[in-house]
């Protein structure tokens, strides 16, 4: 049937009933019903509308709660009086046994009026901290949310605080990172922004901010860094002080010269911001030069070694996140260190006896350059037991035990050999690297197997050694041997091993290239002591510690757990110890024998004799000593030629003598312990070959014999160190004696 239309114009199909059971008599086939025009449109289903109403209600309720909470917070949180930290108290430092070590001085404060602070200095601070301060609100919710998000997502902790909020935190609250404190800071800042002018807030901020060197406020900072009142600061100096607000101590270029590049970059950022805001002309910006601050001066309360020890402990606390710098500077802490008074005194006396008492700048001008740094670590625990930072904290502010700007020289070479054993490395010819493996010690021999720039290091005094085994090359500190060994191992693996032993990953110039073997890295004395302590502990290592406990107001603060782990295999560490014993027995470190105990060690000299090192250990104590050359006026590194009446300075001289004197005194009264070594296969001591009739080294033999185990270490087989011979398989050519060359 064809469709037809009814009188209303509605299409309708006639015929048999459809699938819905409609008959021909049904006026609405297929179950279709027309809408009654008298009935209202039922509209869409009711469920979505109900959900929408619920959501709108929840949003409204949330908004009301938020507004109510905001109003309640604003009404309930009052502007409090200045907090206790605004008038800080001293921190007390104790030796490990509880006896007093030091008490730092009162906080250095001096408030000034805003009109006493030069306008360029104020602009520099605004360029560093909040460039739209004059027009912005007291709080910046967007910045706070952004900072919280960056912190949560691992992009670094950020405060998101305005200058007003920072002032509230400094003067009215505290430095703790809690939600309660942040909420109070928010509401107090809002009220302060309504009740005080921008000028009053900026004045308060500039008088309460911490600039490092125990200086609170811009006036104290001007005196501490430039020895002048704030009124006399120029634009460049003001920009540097403004830079310090981000990281006060870290950006102090005199105490942390290794951070100079970062500090200068921050200074440039401040000046560029001033130009961008129209506060400084491009011409004045171009003429600005970085204003190096004066050397920091300490109070008499921190004279002698006390200031160095306090400085190192404070750095340890802040670097490990135990307490932040500003809170620590606020005072009130009782800190028990790991330092032992008897060992500390022994170290000071050893330096005084072997160096300080012998200095005579009038007859030896180089003596005025001499600086000494030393640190002693317990291999079993990683605790720092003694430290020498300089002649006097009030005269030489930089801690020579923790600074990282002098090359470590050949004291790095043992890490190369440890890496070789740890990684099962082989020579270019496929021979396993053991103490008896032969290398070509010819001067200026280019390294093989390196794809980078050609590298042909010189040996000390341009000496050539021909074929020489690793043990003898270590005793004589042959550069060509160790540069080639670094390539054989892989410079990247050498770097990883050094870090595993204890050097910080951020150590300057710790680069994966053949030169890494010669000690171009500038690790600190304390870093090196920690790494050598790992060797003494049979390869076990954990972060060194300087603090036993810390409390404030009777409340103990939690210290990070120091998990000791097997950094390298025992065989790798112990085999390294075996060849370092030869350095002390017959190599360049024989002065260390005066300790009267079994000892292992390595000498080292930086380029141009700017530093001389001795790093050594007994089973009970690891100690590193370094002499450094620095001009006391300019701060420039200087050579030590002629110092202490010696034509040239080397690690086997005064550094090894200090080490021996200290070790003897520090361990006095305890029975000597021998090393219990587990050596790698092929490193067992070899008997001295019988002399040939013509006096040569004797018949050739295997390079790495598999004979029966002998006594641990090189005992009974010292002749191959003493003569420079390689044992069986060595070249018959005579080798230079250990005194013919110094450690590079």
Contacts of 452 (CB under 8 A, 6+ apart): 513, 514
Stretch 618-637: mean pLDDT, rounded?
A: 96
Per-residue model confidence (pLDDT) at position 716: 30
Q: Which of 129, 340, 571, 718 is catalytic?
A: 129
Min mean pLDDT across 119-128, 556-565, 599-608 is at 556-565
Contacts of 106 (CB under 8 A, 6+ apart): 88, 89, 90
- ∠ Cα 121 201 232 (to 5°): 25
pLDDT digits (tens, 9 = 90+) for 72-120: 544 554 555 555 555 556 788 999 999 999 988 666 767 789 999 999 9
Name the packing angle between helices 525-536 and 570-586 (round to 10°): 110
> Is the confidence at residue 698, as pLDDT, over 80?
no
Min mean pLDDT across 341-350, 407-416, 591-600, 688-697 is at 688-697
> Is the confidence at residue 439, as pLDDT, over 60?
yes
Most confident residue range from 122-136, 694-708, 719-733: 122-136
Stretch 393-422: mean pLDDT, rounded?
A: 96
What is the C-alpha separation between 66 and 71, in angstroms, rounded?
8
Rg (CA), the chain: 36
What is the C-alpha separation between 443 and 486, in angstroms, rounded?
16
Contacts of 149 (CB under 8 A, 6+ apart): none
Which residues on adjacent β-strands are paired with residue 604?
Answer: 613
Decide: helix, strand or coil at residue 386: strand
The pair of three-digit structure tokens given for residue 182, joined into one six-digit string = 């942040």
Min mean pLDDT across 80-84, 111-115, 295-299, 725-729 is at 725-729
Min mean pLDDT across 12-16, 337-341, 605-609, 675-679 is at 12-16
CB 578 within 8 A of CB 572: no
For residue 159, with 0-12 CB atoms within 10 Å meaning exposed, 13-18 middle and 19 or more buried, which class applies? middle
Per-residue model confidence (pLDDT) at position 666: 98
Q: Which residue has the tokens 């086939």?
A: 29
Name the packing angle between helices 260-276 and 235-244 (round to 10°): 120
pLDDT digits (tens, 9 = 90+) for 186-223: 667 667 767 788 898 899 889 888 899 888 889 989 99
Provide, rounded to the nearest whole percent, the portion of the chain with pLDDT above 90: 60
pLDDT band at 300 (very low <50, low <70, confident <90, very high): low
The mean pLDDT value of the chain amounts to 82
For the question of residue 410 being annotated catalytic, the response is yes
CB 293 within 8 A of CB 253: yes
> Is the confidence at residue 691, as pLDDT, over 70?
no
Per-residue model confidence (pLDDT) at position 195: 73
What is the C-alpha separation between 259 and 246, in angstroms, rounded?
13
Stretch 447-474: mean pLDDT, rounded?
A: 95
Per-residue model confidence (pLDDT) at position 722: 34
Min mean pLDDT across 255-259, 275-279, 462-466 is at 255-259
CB 106 within 8 A of CB 211: no
Per-residue model confidence (pLDDT) at position 65: 59
> Is the confidence at residue 689, as pLDDT, over 90?
no
CB 626 within 8 A of CB 374: yes
Per-residue model confidence (pLDDT) at position 736: 34
C-alpha distances in angstroms, 170 versus 442, 552, 668?
64, 19, 50
pLDDT digits (tens, 9 = 90+) for 316-369: 999 999 999 888 887 888 999 999 999 999 999 999 999 999 999 999 999 999
Per-residue model confidence (pLDDT) at position 685: 77
Per-residue model confidence (pLDDT) at position 378: 98
C-alpha distances in angstroms, 731 versus 481, 725, 728, 735?
15, 7, 9, 9
Name the packing angle between helices 119-129 and 235-244 (round to 10°): 30
Decide: helix, strand or coil at residue 375: strand
Name the packing angle between helices 163-171 and 179-195 (round to 10°): 110
Nearest Cα to Cα of residue 598 among 614, 615, 587, 585: 585
Which residues on adjacent β-strands are paired with residue 109?
Answer: 216
Helical (H) or strand (E) element with 113: none
Longest Cα separation, the chain: 138
For the question of residue 300 being annotated catalytic, the response is no
C-alpha distances in angstroms, 533 versus 209, 376, 412, 618, 683?
40, 9, 14, 9, 22
Q: Which of 410, 530, 545, 731 is catalytic?
A: 410
Nearest Cα to Cα of residue 95 among 305, 324, 240: 305
């Amino acid at each position: 049937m064809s469709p037809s239309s009814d009188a209303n114009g509605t299409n309708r199909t006639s015929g048999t009933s459809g699938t819905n059971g409609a008959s021909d008599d049904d006026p609405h086939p297929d179950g279709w019903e027309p809408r009654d025009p008298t009935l209202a449109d039922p509209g869409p289903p009711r469920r979505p509308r109900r959900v929408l109403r619920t959501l709108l209600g929840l949003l409204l309720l949330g908004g009301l709660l938020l507004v109510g909470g905001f109003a309640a917070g604003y009404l309930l949180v009052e502007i409090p009086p200045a907090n206790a930290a605004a008038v800080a108290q001293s921190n007390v430092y104790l030796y490990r046994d509880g006896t007093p070590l030091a008490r730092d001085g009162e906080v250095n404060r001096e408030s000034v009026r805003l009109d006493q602070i030069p306008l360029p200095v104020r602009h520099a601070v605004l360029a560093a901290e909040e460039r739209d301060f004059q027009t912005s609100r007291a709080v910046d919710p967007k910045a706070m949310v952004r900072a919280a998000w960056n912190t949560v997502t691992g992009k670094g902790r950020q405060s998101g605080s305005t200058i007003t909020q920072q002032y509230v935190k400094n003067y009215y609250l505290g430095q703790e990172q809690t939600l309660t404190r942040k909420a109070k800071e928010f509401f107090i800042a809002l009220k302060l922004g309504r009740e005080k002018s921008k000028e009053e807030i900026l004045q308060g901020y500039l008088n309460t901010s911490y600039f490092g060197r125990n200086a609170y406020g811009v006036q104290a900072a001007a005196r501490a860094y430039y020895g002048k009142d704030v009124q006399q600061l120029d634009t460049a100096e003001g920009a540097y002080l403004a830079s310090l607000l981000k990281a006060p101590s870290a950006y102090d270029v005199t105490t942390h010269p290794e951070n100079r590049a970062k500090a200068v970059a921050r200074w440039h950022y401040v000046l560029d911001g001033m130009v961008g805001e129209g506060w400084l002309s491009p011409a004045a910006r171009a003429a600005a030069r970085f204003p190096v601050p004066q050397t920091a001066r300490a109070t008499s309360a921190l004279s002698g070694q006390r200031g160095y020890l306090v400085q190192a402990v404070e750095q340890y606390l802040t670097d490990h996140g135990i307490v932040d710098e500003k809170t620590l500077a606020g005072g009130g802490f009782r800190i028990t260190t790991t330092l032992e008074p008897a060992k500390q005194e022994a170290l000071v006396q050893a330096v005084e006896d072997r160096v300080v008492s012998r200095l005579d700048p009038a007859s030896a001008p180089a003596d005025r350059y001499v600086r000494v740094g030393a640190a002693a670590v317990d291999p079993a625990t990683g605790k720092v037991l003694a430290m020498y930072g300089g002649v006097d904290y009030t005269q030489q502010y930089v801690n020579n035990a923790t600074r990282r700007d002098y090359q470590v020289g050949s004291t790095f070479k043992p890490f190369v050999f440890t890496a070789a054993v740890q990684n099962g490395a082989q020579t270019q010819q496929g021979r396993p690297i053991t103490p008896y493996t032969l290398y070509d010690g010819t001067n200026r021999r280019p390294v093989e197997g390196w794809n980078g720039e050609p590298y042909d290091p010189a040996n000390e005094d341009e000496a050539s050694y021909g074929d020489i085994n690793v043990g003898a090359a270590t005793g004589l500190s042959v550069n060509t041997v160790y540069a080639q060994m670094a390539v054989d191992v892989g410079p990247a693996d050498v770097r990883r091993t050094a870090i595993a032993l204890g050097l910080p990953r951020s150590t300057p110039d710790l680069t994966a290239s053949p030169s890494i073997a010669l000690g171009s890295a500038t690790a600190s004395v304390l870093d090196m002591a920690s790494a050598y302590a790992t060797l003494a502990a049979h390869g076990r290592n954990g972060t060194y510690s300087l603090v036993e406990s810390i409390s404030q107001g009777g409340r103990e603060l939690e210290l990070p757990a120091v998990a000791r782990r097997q950094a390298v295999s025992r065989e790798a560490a112990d085999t390294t110890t075996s060849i370092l014993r030869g350095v002390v027995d017959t190599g360049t470190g024989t002065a260390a024998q005066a300790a009267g105990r079994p000892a292992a060690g390595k000498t080292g000299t930086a380029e141009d004799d700017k530093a001389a090192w001795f790093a050594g250990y007994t089973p009970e104590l690891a100690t590193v000593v370094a002499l450094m050359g620095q001009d006391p006026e300019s701060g420039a590194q200087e050579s030590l030629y002629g110092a202490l009446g010696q034509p040239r300075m080397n690690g086997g001289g005064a550094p090894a003598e200090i080490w021996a004197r200290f070790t003897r005194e520090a361990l006095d009264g305890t029975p000597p312990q021998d090393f219990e070594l587990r050596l790698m296969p092929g490193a067992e001591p070899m008997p001295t070959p019988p002399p040939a009739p013509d006096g040569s080294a004797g018949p050739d033999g295997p390079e790495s014999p598999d004979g029966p185990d002998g006594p641990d270490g090189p005992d009974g087989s010292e002749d191959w160190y003493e003569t420079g011979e390689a044992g069986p398989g060595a070249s018959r050519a005579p080798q230079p004696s250990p005194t013919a060359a110094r450690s590079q």
